[in-house]
C-alpha cells in the first residue's frame, strides 16, 4: 500500500477530516483510493472499505467524501476506493475489484487500524449495492470475515417499481438510475444474481450485522426497508433507520461538494455548515461500530 499526497480541502476537510491518496495493491493490480482517519494510541479501531455512489455509471471517491468523512468521525479508519464504472465494465467487474481491495485491507488491518480491528463494508447508492454484494461474497467464500455492513440509500432492485421511486417520478427510460442499472447488469440474466441485485437474494442467513439507512423522501426508501426486513427475517442483526424529510437523498449524498466553498476561511461560514441529517447519521455510525465491534468477529457460518 502506497501513501501519497497531503491533507486536502474538500467536503471531508470541510467537516474537519483530512484525507490522503493511497494505492491499494490487489491481485489484479493497483486500485486508487483515499484514506481517512487514523488510530490514536494503542488498541484498534474499525476499518471500513467505503464505496461511493454514482448509479454505477459515474462518481469518484470525491463524490463519497462527505459520507467517508462521517464514518471517520464516528471513529473508523476509512478507505474509500475507486472502482470500474459500468459503462465499460458491467457486472461483476466493480464487485471483483472491490473484493480485491477488501481482501488487501484484511491483510493490512493491523497496520491501518490495529491488531484485531473489525472490518466493515459501507457504501451509498450504487456503492451500497456493492457493499451488500461484497457481504454476500465474503460470506460465501468464508473470507474475509466482516463485522458489519453499512448501506446508505442503497440501490438494490433494478425493477425500480416501488412507491418511493414513483413519487420521485424516476425509474423510466432515461432516468439515470434506470440507465445505470442497464449498464451495470449488462444482460437480463444478471438481474437474478443476488450479488448484482441483493433484493433478489434468497439466502441471507449468515450475513454480517447490517445498518441500513434511508430517508422519508429518498427514492431508495422502499427498497431499503424491504431489504432490512428480509435481513431481519433471515436472522441477521439489522438496524433500519429512516431520516425525516427533507434530505434530497440520494442525490444530496454526492452533491454536497457543489455547495461547499473552495477556500478554508469560507468553510467556517454558515453556508458551509453540514446538512441537518449529518449529525444523526454520524451518531448511527458510531452506535453501530460500538455495538458490532466489541467482540472479535467470528468466521461466517456455512450456508446450505
Instruction: Give 205-220 pLDDT, tens digit per residue.
Output: 999 999 999 999 999 9
pTM equals 0.88
Q: What percent of the chain has pLDDT over 90?
A: 74
Q: Which domains does the chain have, with CATH numbers?
A: 2-292 (3.40.50.1820)
Asked whether 99 and 134 are in contact (CB, 8 A), the reply is yes
Does position 6 have pLDDT exceeding 90, yes or no?
no
As a whole number, the mean pLDDT across the chain is 86
pLDDT value of position 168: 74
Distances 200 to 50, 129, 132 between C-alpha atoms, Å: 23, 12, 12
Distances 199 to 20, 100, 270 between C-alpha atoms, Å: 35, 24, 40
Residue ranges with strand state E in the chain: 2-4, 19-26, 29-36, 47-51, 77-81, 119-124, 148-152, 210-215, 238-243
Tens of pLDDT, residue by residue over 110-154, are: 999 999 999 999 999 999 999 999 999 999 999 999 999 999 999
Distances 13 to 28, 68, 72, 169 between C-alpha atoms, Å: 31, 11, 11, 34
Does position 109 have pLDDT exceeding 80, yes or no?
yes
pLDDT value of position 304: 29
Task: Identify the helix (H) or strand (E) that includes residue 135.
Answer: helix 126-141
Amino acid at each position: 500500500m502506497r501513501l501519497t499526497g497531503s491533507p486536502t480541502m474538500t467536503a471531508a476537510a470541510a467537516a474537519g477530516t483530512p484525507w490522503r491518496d493511497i494505492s491499494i495493491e490487489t491481485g489484479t493490480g493497483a486500485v486508487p483510493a483515499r484514506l481517512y482517519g487514523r488510530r490514536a494510541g494503542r488498541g484498534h479501531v474499525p476499518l471500513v472499505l467505503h464505496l461511493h455512489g454514482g448509479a454505477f455509471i459515474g462518481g469518484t471517491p470525491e463524490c463519497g467524501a462527505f459520507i467517508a468523512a462521517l464514518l471517520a468521525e464516528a471513529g473508523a479508519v476509512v478507505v474509500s476506493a475507486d472502482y470500474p464504472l459500468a459503462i465499460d465494465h458491467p457486472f461483476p467487474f466493480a464487485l471483483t475489484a472491490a473484493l480485491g481491495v477488501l481482501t488487501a485491507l484484511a491483510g493490512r488491518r493491523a497496520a491501518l487500524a490495529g491488531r484485531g480491528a473489525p472490518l466493515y463494508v459501507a457504501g451509498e447508492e450504487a456503492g451500497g449495492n456493492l457493499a451488500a454484494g461484497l457481504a454476500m461474497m465474503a460470506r460465501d467464500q468464508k473470507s474475509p470475515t466482516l463485522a458489519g455492513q453499512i448501506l446508505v440509500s442503497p440501490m438494490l432492485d433494478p425493477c425500480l417499481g416501488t412507491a418511493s421511486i414513483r413519487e420521485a417520478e424516476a425509474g423510466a427510460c432515461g432516468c439515470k438510475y434506470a440507465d445505470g442499472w442497464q449498464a451495470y447488469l449488462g444482460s437480463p440474466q444478471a438481474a437474478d444474481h443476488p450479488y448484482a441485485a441483493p433484493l433478489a437474494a434468497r439466502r441471507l442467513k449468515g450475513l454480517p450485522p447490517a445498518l441500513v439507512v434511508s430517508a422519508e423522501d429518498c427514492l431508495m426508501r422502499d427498497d431499503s426497508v424491504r431489504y432490512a426486513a428480509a435481513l431481519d427475517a433471515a436472522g441477521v442483526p439489522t438496524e433500519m433507520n429512516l431520516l425525516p424529510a427533507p434530505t434530497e437523498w440520494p442525490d444530496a449524498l454526492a452533491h454536497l461538494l457543489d455547495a461547499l466553498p473552495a477556500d478554508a476561511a469560507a468553510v467556517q461560514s454558515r453556508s458551509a455548515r453540514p446538512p441537518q441529517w449529518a449529525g444523526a447519521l454520524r451518531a448511527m455510525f458510531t452506535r453501530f461500530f460500538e455495538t458490532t465491534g466489541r467482540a472479535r468477529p467470528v468466521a461466517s457460518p456455512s450456508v446450505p
